[in-house]
Chains A and B, each alone.
Chain A
Amino acid sequence: MKKLSAIPMIALLALASCSDDNEVTMPADYTEVPEAAIKSSDYSGLYVLDEGNMGSNKCTLDYMRFSDGVFARNIYPERNPSQALELGDSGNDILISGNRMYLCISGSNKLEVLDARTAERIGQVDIPNCRYVETAGGNIYVTSYTGGYTIDTTQQFGAVYRIDPNTLTVTGKLPVTYWPEEMAAVDGKLYVATSGTAVEGDYPDNNVLQIDLASFTIEREIPVGTNLHHIEADTFGHLWVSGRGDYGARPSRLYCLSKTAGEYSLDKTIEAACSDFTVCGSTIYFYAAEWNYATSSNTITYSKADAATAALLPGSYIASSEQSKIDTPYAILANPQNSEIYLTDARNYVSSGSLHCIGTDGMIRWSVTTGDIPGHLALLKK
């Protein structure tokens, strides 16, 4: 009987000896997607920044190489093995400017600076709770949720940081309103969409801020809509802005701003919900995912608008048979050269996502498995 009792213990010790104390850096995972190869492209490839669930430190970077259609998942540890705790927590934006790639890693409070071609690290700039990055006039601009406190210390306002890309130092910090989001640079001005969430559930601001880059001051506040998020300029002199609404009475919308007497103001509201959009020549492609309490499911729509006339176009850019293959659309980007659309699926936020390439016929041409929450896309020019 005594021997019997020793068996589980021996088994346990045997199991214990299997525990590998030496962990290896996360390897990249390579997949060949022949359909994704583009022979004569203006672009070398497409980066996907995966946010990773908050606190999981699983922000990862994936890359689709167009020359041969090889998709590499999680390349950062492979390219930067000595970087302790890898890329970081909650990636929120990606920007390629020249030979560099800038990544806002909001949970790690930093702007990560990489070589755009090799994804090797150049350095970082510490910016708390950074959200989006933009370049203009030789500087880098980053929005942040936490720029300081109101006088009564009850509320935190946001800030726009100015960074010198040569020294990777902050050269200016402009306090702005609550929760600033994406920026667009047009003619020496920086336009910032502000979500304005101050008190939970309350959206007191509904502005796009106009910042003069020479003086780095706020010049104007342009009233647009509730809970603004994305902003991008088209080639027709418009600024397109998406608003998330208040998830209640005030709906999500896509707004078009145009210039009168040299100043932008709200011109048209596209009467369709918009979570994110991409400008491709004369067309704006966008999607929306809105929670429906009655059916306990997301209502997902894929719509398009004419950039020149700011009018909603009929139909969708994804065939309805293909739409059911996407659970939670989370990022969109058009390839200006061939008008293909890259659309990501974040699924349930806590498992691997997908990147889909949608052809001009509305069919999914190819799909690959990405990291968790593929949220941000950037094309790398040749």
Chain B
Amino acid sequence: MLRRKPTYILTVLTAAACSFAAAAEERPDTTDLREVVVVAHRPSDDVIPAQTLQGKELEQMNSSSVADALRYFSGVQVKDYGGVGGIKTVNVRSMGTNHTGVSYDGIELGNAQNGQIDLGQFSLDNMESISLHNGQKSSLLQPARDFGSAATIYMRSRSPRFAPGKAYNARLTFRTGSFDLVNPSALAEFRLGRHLNASLSAEWIKSSGRYKFRYKRLAPDGTVAYDTTAVRKNGDINATRLELGLNGDFASGEWHFKAYNYNSERGVPGAIVNNVWRRGERISDNNSFAQGRVIVGIGRFTSLNSIKYAFYRTHYVNNDDKQIKIDNRYRQNELYISTSNEYTVFPWWRVSLSYDLQWNRLKADIYGFAQPDRLSSYLAAATAMNLGTLKLQASLLGTFIHDRVQGKKSPADRKAFTPAIYLSWQPAGKKLPLSLRAFFKRSFRMPTFNDLYYTDVGNASLDPEKVTQYNVGIVFDKTSGGFVSAIRLSADGYINRVKNKIVAYPKGQQFRWTMLNLGKVHITGLDLSAAVTVTPAYWLSSPFDITLRGQYTYQKAIDVTSPSDSYYRDQIPYMPLHSGSAVVNAGWNGWGINYSFIYAGERYSQQENIIYNRMRPWHTSDISLSRDQPIGKAILRIQLEVNNIFNDYYDVILNYPMPGRNWRIVFSAEI
């Protein structure tokens, strides 16, 4: 009941999967998706649009971080400041970064300071799957917080599986390439008993972050006005990641424990502006958390209970003699407990109740900083009905926030109730794998500690920023043997309304800002995606397959704050009207080849859609070639990647140049 086993198994890339597939039958069906090697989306059990990348496909995509991989999802824009150490955040369906929840192994990651999760801090090295759920996951048994975000990214690390008679798995990987990259990693998994296993994952990444970038402009008559090539500096990173996982099961359930530490020292490359080619900002992060989950099922009753403690330390320094000196330290603590309980009233009707309690604190050595802490309670009730061809889910989340600040009166408590309703209908039942779906969801984001309490800028009287989403969609999803072994097509149209958007507002005097609930945004979007796997010689025992995936996103996201604004009804910054991606990969007998293409259309760097703010479209093409070679008991793997093969020089964020053509080579050995 926890997660249904996929109803189909693709017979693709079996050669690549051989090292894992053998163990599949031993596992409880709770977390096992490994046998599905290439799936564009989760099975049609989902009422809500969800997109997933996992396993082999993830491995072959030339992606070096979670954020890179998310660029292949429709409706997603990744804000990328460039380079190995550059900050990367995600914006889903133009609603804003802070509306996207990010969950790692079942528990949401938090950043009470600015609400943004830097996805660069998570590695694909031990990642089993990444999913994006618009609205929320189609699950009743989940923490109350998971009912809250406007969209959620679920990252799941690899869970150990052992071939019969094997007590351990081990993998060593070494990546190197452009930007003076040195990136070794190790993964070890141990079977500690019939009902207990452990995994250890460690990674070190070091890179100078140096790459060439180029700014070229033509005069109106077509002659070159200027053509400047320079090297990106102060983008170096030196980071380690350590993860320990323990997984166990018992008669009526299972449990998971995870400890995580990320420690980095990196440069902030900063904006390239006239006469400034190097900056001196540095950020050190030391982020740790420990979390545990227990799932117990007794008869019709299932309970999921979680606990987490997180401690984040950030040290920000500006060493540039030409700039005002800055040296600030931030410390965040988070304590989180959650209980989620599901009851199956009838086989076709389930209900659940979840409650989360969370405490956050931020300390900073900034003059006049309010040193806030926050107690949040989340209470969610949900129900799901499965009426044959019609599936229905509904949830209601209540959020209750209490903040305290030092030396001032605590701001008023905030509360909000946010409902969500989901429907999916298979009009022709099992005869035709076609389903229609629709959802409505309200959600909000709390103002962050920075919005509320940052010295001088913060505004303690801010209201939460609110989002309403309406989505209708259609999915065709068919798996069969034969030439076209799998096909999935989907289209979703949506309308989102963002109000009380928290924006920086000038305080009048000399470039001083404050935060206000001022913005209103209307979003009309269309996500199209298609995935097809063809098996030209499907009768062979080791056939070769070609998988094609494409997605296209249309997003009209306009600022409707006030007709008196010069940017009234203009497209909001950094949101292209058109964007999309295409991926082709083919595998045969241990060989794999992958081509990935990403396109982002014209955007504007500021609110006004005028020529001075226009940013040109960009596209990148990446290619990888891989070979898996069994040697004795081990499987050696080598993968060569060339990214941005057409050497397009572009900015995702204005004045943050992205790398041109670059390459990477990955060696790994697994036993």
Contact = CB atoms under 8 A, between A and B. Distances in A.
Contacts of A21: 616, 648
B31 to A, nearest CB: 30
B277 to A, nearest CB: 10
Nearest to A347: B566
A289 to B, nearest CB: 3
Contact of A2 (B271, B484, B505, B507): B484
Contacts of B608: 351-352
Given A25-B218, A56-B655, A247-B456, A87 B366 contact: no
A5 B322 contact: no
A277 B531 CA distance: 65
A24 interface: yes
Interface in B489-518: 489, 505-514, 516
A359 interface: no
B164 interface: no
Given A85-B215, A244-B509, A247-B456, A15 B617 contact: yes
A183 to B, nearest CB: 17
Contacts of B507: 289, 291, 298
B324 A351 contact: no
Interface in A24-60: 24-27, 29, 51, 53-58, 60
Nearest to B561: A348
Of B368, B513, B530, B551, the most chain A CB neighbours within 10 A belong to: B530
Contact of A348 (B505, B534, B612): B505
Nearest to B367: A200
A247 B216 CA distance: 44
Contacts of A226: none
B607 interface: yes
Given A81-B226, A108-B273, A244-B510, A19 B618 contact: yes
A39 B607 CA distance: 38
Contacts of B42: none
B273 A2 contact: no
A86 B605 CA distance: 17
Given A201-B368, A296-B516, A291 B509 contact: yes
A275 interface: yes
Contacts of B484: 1-2
B322 A109 contact: yes
B605 A56 contact: yes
Interface stretch (A123-131, A232-240, A261-269): A123-131
B210 to A, nearest CB: 19
Contacts of B440: none
A12 interface: yes
A374 interface: no
B553 to A, nearest CB: 10
A148 B271 CA distance: 23
B225 A81 contact: yes
B251 interface: no
B551 A8 contact: yes
Interface in A191-228: 199-202
Residue of B219, B506, B534, B616 with most chain A CB atoms under a 10 A cut-off: B506
A22 B218 contact: yes
B580 A8 contact: yes
B528 interface: yes
A347 B612 CA distance: 17
B567 interface: yes
Given A5-B489, A27-B611, A300 B508 contact: yes
Interface string A264-301: 00000000000100000000000011110000101010
Given A19-B618, A21-B648, A89 B506 contact: no
Contacts, number: 229
B550 A200 contact: no
Interface string B546-567: 0010111000000000000111
A211 to B, nearest CB: 23
Nearest to B460: A293
B367 A201 contact: yes
B300 interface: no
A299 to B, nearest CB: 8
B130 interface: no
B601 interface: yes
Contacts of A26: 611-612
Nearest to B618: A19
A351 B271 contact: no
B366 A5 contact: no
B272 interface: yes
Contacts of B324: 129, 145-146, 156
Range for the number of chain B residues in contact with chain A? 35 or more
A146 B323 contact: yes
A124 B514 contact: no
A304 interface: no
Contact of B550 (A12, A53, A77, A202): A12
B606 A350 contact: yes
B509 A199 contact: no
A155 B325 CA distance: 7
B580 A199 contact: no
B217 interface: yes
Given A25-B220, A56-B655, A200-B368, A2 B510 contact: no
Contacts of A247: 456, 509, 512
A358 to B, nearest CB: 19
A89 B550 contact: no
Contacts of A244: 509-510
Given A5-B530, A21-B648, A88-B275, A74 B599 contact: no
B619 interface: yes
A80 to B, nearest CB: 9
Contacts of A7: 530
A244 to B, nearest CB: 6
A87 to B, nearest CB: 7
Contacts of B215: 84-85
B645 to A, nearest CB: 13
Given A351-B565, A352-B608, A89 B271 contact: yes
Contacts of A77: 225
Given A26-B611, A82-B226, A86-B274, A15 B580 contact: yes
A314 B225 CA distance: 54
Contacts of A200: 366-368, 455
Interface in A3-23: 4-9, 11-13, 15-16, 18-23
B582 interface: yes
Contacts of B550: 5, 8-9, 12
A93 interface: no
A83 B489 CA distance: 50
Nearest to A107: B273
B597 interface: yes
B271 A8 contact: no
Interface in B341-368: 366-368
Contacts of B459: 296
A200 B217 CA distance: 41
A199 B565 CA distance: 37
B313 interface: no
Contacts of B530: 4-5, 7-9
Given A19-B617, A24-B218, A275-B508, A372 B321 contact: no
A256 B225 CA distance: 49
Interface in A140-189: 145-146, 149, 154-156
A343 interface: no
6 contacts: A5-B531, A7-B530, A9-B530, A21-B616, A25-B225, A200-B366
Given A56-B605, A347-B566, 5 more contacts: A9-B582, A55-B273, A82-B226, A124-B275, A146-B324
Interface of B: 215-220, 225-226, 228, 270-276, 321-325, 366-368, 455-456, 459, 461, 484, 487, 489, 505-514, 516, 528-532, 534, 548, 550-552, 565-567, 578, 580-582, 597, 599, 601, 605-608, 610-612, 616-619, 648, 654-655
6 pairs of A and B residues whose beta carbons are closest in the complex: A289-B508, A88-B274, A128-B322, A89-B273, A5-B530, A19-B617
